[in-house]
A and B are shown apart, each in its own frame.
Chain A
Amino acid sequence: GENVEQHPSTLSVQEGDSAVIKCTYSDSASNYFPWYKQELGKRPQLIIDIRSNVGEKKDQRIAVTLNKTAKHFSLHITETQPEDSAVYFCAASRSNFGNEKLTFGTGTRLTIIP
């Protein structure tokens, strides 16, 4: 089955700096890669996703890049703000016109230092 590894497990950055979280996956058939943000005591919220036919996607301060050959994808947050502090999860699935199961990484606890 699919295995997703996520690094680092914790990350602290100064407010205004950039943060990068990296994930690798094992199943070459995976084609859908979402990123979720989970604040303490709350549900995971989708922040951005990318499909395998795209190499990069950006939404304001958040971007995701995908390297299918190397089987890794990364989340980039620029101009970080205190409200970016949360746990971030990457995930991968074989989405084939249907809902396949998401395999999650182990999460990255991001702390923004004011």
Chain B
Amino acid sequence: KAGVTQTPRYLIKTRGQQVTLSCSPISGHRSVSWYQQTPGQGLQFLFEYFSETQRNKGNFPGRFSGRQFSNSRSEMNVSTLELGDSALYLCASSLNTASGETQYFGPGTRLLVL
């Protein structure tokens, strides 16, 4: 099976712009989670989607949003970009079963805000 894929891999934006990142989960995986990774804050949970519904949400401002499509692909959007949004954004997918909660990560999208 193909692994989790993310596009684009690299992105440069300026303050005030908005950005959309995409994540395709492993085939058959219905849960997609998003994480932000920075040197200072480490890996922080953004939100999780399952069956097109947001099930869990981390402590990020409303500028960070996401959605999931019927094929389980997910997008996250960041509006009004700030310098501090520069980070590696990782998505992870899982089977979402009693013995299948393992999350598999994609390669990430590295966002640089200038």
Contacts and interface: CB of A to CB of B under 8 A. Distances in A.
Interface of A: 32, 34, 36, 42-46, 49, 89, 91, 93, 95, 97-107
A87 to B, nearest CB: 10
A45 B106 CA distance: 9
Given A49-B102, A95-B101, A102 B108 contact: no
Binding site of B, secondary structure by majority: helix, strand, loop or mixed? strand
Contacts of A45: 105
B31 A99 contact: yes
B48 A101 contact: yes
Interface of B: 31, 33, 35, 42-45, 48, 50, 55-56, 58, 90, 92, 94, 96-98, 101-108
B43 A89 contact: yes
Per CB-CB distance, the 8 closest pairs between chain A and chain B, nearest first, are: A99-B31, A104-B43, A95-B101, A101-B45, A43-B105, A97-B98, A99-B96, A101-B56
B43 A99 contact: no
B103 A102 contact: yes
Contacts of A105: 42
A35 to B, nearest CB: 11
